[in-house]
Amino acid sequence: MSDPVLELSGLHTDIAQYHILEGVDLSVPRGQVTMLLGRNGVGKTTTLRTIMGHWAAKSGTIRYDAQDITGWPTPARARAGIGFVPEDMGIFSDLTVEENMVLAAASGPLDPARLTRIFAAFPPLKTFWTAEAGNLSGGQKQMLSIARAMAEERILYLIDEPTKGLAPAIVSTMAGALRDLKAQGASILLVEQNFAVAKALGDHAAVMEGGRIVWTGPMAELAADTALQERLMGLNMEVQG
Amino acid sequence: MTAAPDHAPTMTRASLFHRLGQAAPVLLVPILILAGFLAIGAPSSWLTLTVSGLAMGMMIFVMASGLTLVFGLMDVINFGHGAFISLGAFVGISVLLALSGWTEAPSLVLNLAAILLAIAAAMVLTGAVGWGFERVIVRPVYGAHLKQILVTVGGLIVVEQLIHVIWGPDEIFLNRPETLQGAITFAGAALEKYRILAVALGLAIFLAMRLVLRRTKIGLIVRAGVQNGQMVESLGYRLRLVFIGVFVAGSALAGLGGVMWGLYQGVITAGMGERMMILVFIVVIIGGLGSVEGAFIGALLVGLMQNYIAFLEPKLALVSNIGLMTAILMWRPQGMMPVVKAK
């Protein structure tokens, strides 16, 4: 395994009175796609949100790019190169597509070359550039959500269920865009319920159960072992393709 | 690069019905003005009342605009906002009284210069007090609405009492600057000069706020922060700093509103801000939480409605704004142009 861009050690997170993460240990290799898998409610989204700083870790450490970021506020983590695509997409619906993208370029104006690449991956964003983001379809909103994370150079992307509820053609566009990100050297920690997408994109997999990582290994190994899939993830994964 | 899906969407013009639905709140102001004209009958009285209503609306908007952004950005219910209205009025009027040589001179330039200095002093001081208010009173109670109400009401009382300590317990009467007294006659209607100035000033502030919110990055951050603050932070922006800036600006605008209102009424009291908060909250609620445009339209509706009803049916004047709020909330329960959905 290449050197990790992100390492979680003994991460515990409480939300109100609920103890959600119960000691997460996870290593995310640099420049690769790590799939975070598991049944609904096992703590995948909370793991991403704890890494991003939305929830404070009760104990444990988060090391990112050789720095301990456990106590950092969310904006500092973002400025250090962590891009976040939430499950609900987090689109600013009253702003136009253009305004959403301008805002995403936090360190300066939008880079035209980067924007050209984004338009090539997601042509509807060019078509609806001046339209209010709230009027986009679900798939277009998801495109905008990922495009926004791509608006600046990122080292690590945290992406939560980008294909949820999307038509197969859009799913394939999303998968292609994520593959391109990886080809450009980005590291991705991806929560995904669509096992076909997970199989196609993932280099590594980490499976969660009860707020902990219970299995890690190559994605190919998990994809090849249906008994292991059944044992670790039950029937919640959408097995397609 | 990835192949995009075959679907090639195009932009089409929204239907007339859809466009009318979106413009409906904006249309309410001319509709109310037209209804006022039909109900009042006499054009000169209608024009006088309309200018008076617009002036009142503009001043309420100036006071409410900061509150709606603070409400939207950080989900903070600041009942202490009225303190900045009173404080601004006392500071501004003190400056005007000190500059009596300028205000009593029959020179429009000197009179306006005195008002501008009074406004600047009021805004600087209320902005500074707003910064301290956020740091000491509001910051410890983020996310706790009941505590916010209790401590900000407490803050309001403290500021009111401090005004009593500094300026004394009595109300202060004042005359408007020499050239802004009286009225001009237009189409047979008497239009008070100060009200025309208040309309112009309020409109200029609204346009400036709109420009900042629509055309600058900081405005973009504020608008996005009102909708989804966590996501704005996830993009790398320190929303806390933006919020402090908005709180200070909102306090300064309340101070400006206090000076304008004091000059409008010709008398100031420590409790004037507290009393204005009823109208300010009505404007924020009917405008839609977090919406500057909504607050602007709401304030104009409140100002016009109060003036028309006071003329037509004086006994109903006290309940006219509550009636307006009830009608708008029955039509749009989240307010006219909500940016933040009520929880």
pLDDT tens track for B32-42: 999 999 999 89
More confident residue, B302 or B15: B302
The residue type of B111 is N
CA torsion angle B249 B252 B253 B259 (round to 10): -170
Q: What is the 8-class DSSP label of residue B2? A: P
- In this prediction, residue B111 carries a pLDDT of 95
For chain A, the distance separating the N- and C-terminal CA atoms, rounded to the nearest angstrom, is: 28
Strand order in the sheet with A67-68: A18-29, A4-15, A59-64, A67-68
List C-alpha distances in Å: B129 to A54, B74, B83, B84. 31, 19, 10, 8
Contact: B232, A84; criterion CB under 8 Å: no
**Higher pLDDT among residues B70 and B277, named by residue:** B277
What are the angstrom distances between the C-alpha of B311 and each of A240, B187, B298, B304, B307?
Answer: 71, 19, 20, 11, 6
Task: Give residue A229's pLDDT band: very low, low, confident or very high (50, 70, 90).
Answer: confident
Q: How far is the C-alpha of A197 from the C-alpha of A187, rounded, in Å?
A: 17
Output the average pLDDT for chain A: 91
Pair type for strands B172-173 and B267-268: antiparallel
Q: Which residue out of A77, A87, A88, A92 would a mutagenesis test of the B interface target, given it has the greatest number of B Cβ atoms within 10 Å?
A: A92
pLDDT tens by residue, B281-332: 999 999 998 899 999 999 999 999 999 999 999 988 878 999 999 999 999 9
Indicate if ipTM > 0.95: no
Identify which of B9, B221, B236 has the shortest CB distance to residue A124: B9
pLDDT band per the 50, 70, 90 thresholds, residue A231:
confident
pLDDT band at B4 (very low <50, low <70, confident <90, very high): very low
- Would you call B186 helix, strand, or coil by DSSP? strand
Contact B1 A180 (CB under 8 A): yes
Yes or no: say if B190 and B116 are a contact pair by the CB < 8 Å rule: no
SS3 sequence, chain A?
CCCEEEEEEEEEEEECCEEEEEEEEEEEECCCEEEEEECCCCCHHHHHHHHHCCCCCCEEEEEECCEECCCCCHHHHHHCCEEEECCCCCCCCCCEHHHHHHHHCCCCCCCHHHHHHHHHHCHHHHHCCCCEHHHCCHHHHHHHHHHHHCCCCCCEEEEECCCCCCCHHHHHHHHHHHHHHHHCCCEEEEECCEHHHHHHHCCEEEEEECCEEEEEEEHHHHHHCHHHHHHHHCCCCECCC
Of the candidates B7, B10, B223, the beta carbon closest to that of A95 is on B223
A102/B220 Cβ within 8 A: yes
Distance from CA of B220 to the nearest CA of A (A): 7
Residues of B with CB under 8 A from a CB of A: 1-11, 217, 220-221, 223-224, 227-228, 230-239, 339
Structure confidence at residue A195 as a pLDDT band (50, 70, 90)? confident
Check CB contact under 8 Å for B228 and A92.
Answer: yes
- With an 8 Å Cβ cutoff, are B11 and A94 in contact? no
pLDDT of residue A102: 95
- Tens digits of residue pLDDT in B123-144: 999 999 999 999 999 989 887 8
Interchain pair B6, A169: CB under 8 A: yes
Among candidates B5, B8, B236 on the partner chain, residue whose Cβ is nearest the Cβ of A106: B236
Q: Is the pLDDT of residue A45 over 90?
A: yes
- A237 pLDDT band, cuts 50/70/90, is low
Report the alpha-carbon distance of residue B29 to residue B324 in Å, rounded.
12
Q: CA B69 to CA B196: how far, in whole Å? A: 27
The pLDDT of residue B15 is above 80 = no
What is the pLDDT of chain B when averaged over all its residues?
Answer: 90
Residues of B in contact with A79 (CB under 8 A): 236
Query: With bands split at pLDDT 50, 70 and 90, how would you rate the model's confidence at B8?
Result: low
pLDDT tens digits, one per residue of B142-155: 878 899 999 999 99
Q: Please tell me the number of Cα atoms within 13 Å of B253 on its side-chain side.
A: 28
Q: Using CA atoms, how far apart are residues A138 and A89, in angstroms rounded to an integer?
A: 9
Weakest-pLDDT range from A228-232, A234-238, B229-233, B242-246: A234-238
Q: Has residue B83 got a pLDDT over 90?
A: yes
Helix, strand, coil: what percent of chain B each, to 5? Answer: 75, 5, 20
Instruction: Supply the DSSP symbol for B106.
Output: S
The H-or-E segment that residue B140 falls in is none
Of A56-60, A127-131, B14-18, the least confident: B14-18
Whether A171 has a pLDDT exceeding 50, the answer reads yes
Q: How many CB pairs under 8 A join A and B?
A: 92
Please list, in sequence order, all residues whose beta carbon lies within 8 angstroms of the beta carbon of residue B290, skipping any fewer than 6 positions away.
B68, B69, B71, B72, B73, B226, B227, B338, B339, B340
pLDDT digits (tens, 9 = 90+) for A86-128: 999 999 998 999 999 999 999 989 999 999 999 998 999 999 9
CB contact under 8 Å between A95 and B217, yes or no, is no
Instruction: Give the Å distances, CA to CA, from A181 to A123, A151, A174, A190.
Output: 17, 12, 11, 12
Closest by CA to B184, choosing from B47, B72, B314, is B47
Q: Note whether B227 contacts A94, CB cutoff 8 Å.
A: yes
Please tell me the predicted confidence (pLDDT) of residue A173: 86
B35 is written with which tokens? 């209804």
Q: Which amino acid appears at position A80 of this protein?
A: A
Quick one: tokens of B310? 């006071």
The helix/strand count (H/E) of chain B reads as 12, 4
Positive or negative torsion for Cα A122, A128, A133, A138: negative
How many whole angstroms separate alpha carbon B209 and alpha carbon B223? 12
Residue B11 has pLDDT above 80, yes or no: no
Quick check: B221 and B242 in contact, CB under 8 A? yes
A238 phi/psi in degrees, rounded to 5: -80, 100
**pLDDT given at position B209:** 92
pLDDT category of residue A67 using cuts at 50, 70 and 90: very high
Res A42: pLDDT: 93
- For residue A232, give the nearest of B90, A223, B249, A14 by alpha carbon: A223
Two tokens at B221? 């951050």
pLDDT bucket at B1, cuts 50 / 70 / 90: very low
The residue-averaged pLDDT of B87-93 equals 97
pLDDT at A2: 62
Q: In whole angstroms, what is the distance from residue B321 CA to residue B281 CA?
A: 11
Question: Could you tell me what percent of chain A has a pLDDT over 90?
Answer: 71
Of B3, B227, B234, the CB nearest to A84: B234
Interface test with B, best of A51, A100, A103, A144 (most B CBs within 10 A): A103
Sheet holding A156-160, edge to edge: A82-85, A156-160, A187-191, A33-38, A204-209, A212-218
Bridge partners (DSSP) listed for residue A187: A156
Q: Is the pLDDT of residue A236 over 70?
A: no
- A87 vs B: CB within 8 A: no
Q: Report whether pLDDT(B2) > 50.
A: no
CATH number at B43-331: 1.10.3470
Calculate helix-pair angle for B217-234, B43-74, nearest 10 degrees. 30
| Model confidence at A241: pLDDT above 70 | no
Alpha-carbon gap, residue A125 to B281, rounded angstroms: 39
What is the pLDDT at residue B14? 66
CB contact under 8 A, B230 and A74: yes
